[in-house]
Structure 1
Amino acid sequence: MTSLNVYSVLVVLFLTCGAVMATKENDQIIKENNCETKMGLPCILEAFTCIFETGSISNKCCDELVVLENVCHSALVKRTLENPLSKDLSPTTIIAKSIQTWNNCLALNDSPSPSA
């Protein structure tokens, strides 16, 4: 019985440390890459509404998202998912929407602009 309690405590410690390490890793990526300064607030809100709720992202904000770079985009999404306020969200769904949004913006950014 005692070994079960010790095992339970070790599992809880491992999971807690893993979550803290993940948060610190994302925070470090965000800080080192100046991620929070690469997009304007209106486009941040538009991108996050597209990913975390329902909506679309404009071409202008897609351009800003691509400039943000995927490393920042992923770290910001993951940090948001780690927030206790996001506990009711499905990480699988959010990650899938995040990847879809990134890929759509990247494809839009890579496509040649129409001639006037």
Structure 2
Amino acid sequence: MASLNVSSVLLVLFLTCWAVMATKENDQIIKENNCESTMGLPCVLEAFTSIFNTGSISNKCCGELVVLGKVCHSALVKRTLENPLFKDLNPATIIAKSIQTWNNCLALIDSPSPST
């Protein structure tokens, strides 16, 4: 019985350390890449809504998201998921929506504009 308790404590300790390291890693990526000052607030809100809620992102904001870069985009989404306010969200669903938003924006920005 004692070994079960020790194993349980070690597992909780490991998971806690892993979560703290993930948070520090995302924070470090965000800081090193100056991720938080690249997009304007209206576009941050559009991107957030398209990923964490139901909404779309405009062409202008897609452009800002692509300039932000995939590394920053991923780190910001992961850091948001670590926030206790979002604990009830399914991380797999959010990551899938994040990837879909990124890919849609990338395709939009990479596609040639129609001639006028």
Give me the CA root mean square deviation.
0.5
Aligned to 1:11: 11
Report % sequence identity.
Answer: 85
Q: Distance in 1 between matches of 2:70 and 2:7?
A: 38
The 5 Å alignment of 1:67-78 reads 67-78=67-78
Q: Distance in 2 between matches of 1:40 and 1:95?
A: 22
TM-score after normalising by structure 1 = 0.99
- Structure 1 residue 88 corresponds to structure 2 residue 92: no
Q: Distance in 1 between matches of 2:103 and 2:113?
A: 17
Aligned to 1:53: 53
Please identify runs of 4+ aligned residues in structure 1 that moved more than 6 A: none
Which blocks of at least 5 consecutive residues in structure 2 are unaligned? none
TM-score after normalising by structure 2 = 0.99
Which blocks of at least 5 consecutive residues in structure 1 are unaligned? none
Aligned to 1:25: 25
Aligned to 1:41: 41
Between the two proteins, the alignment pairs up a number of residues equal to 116
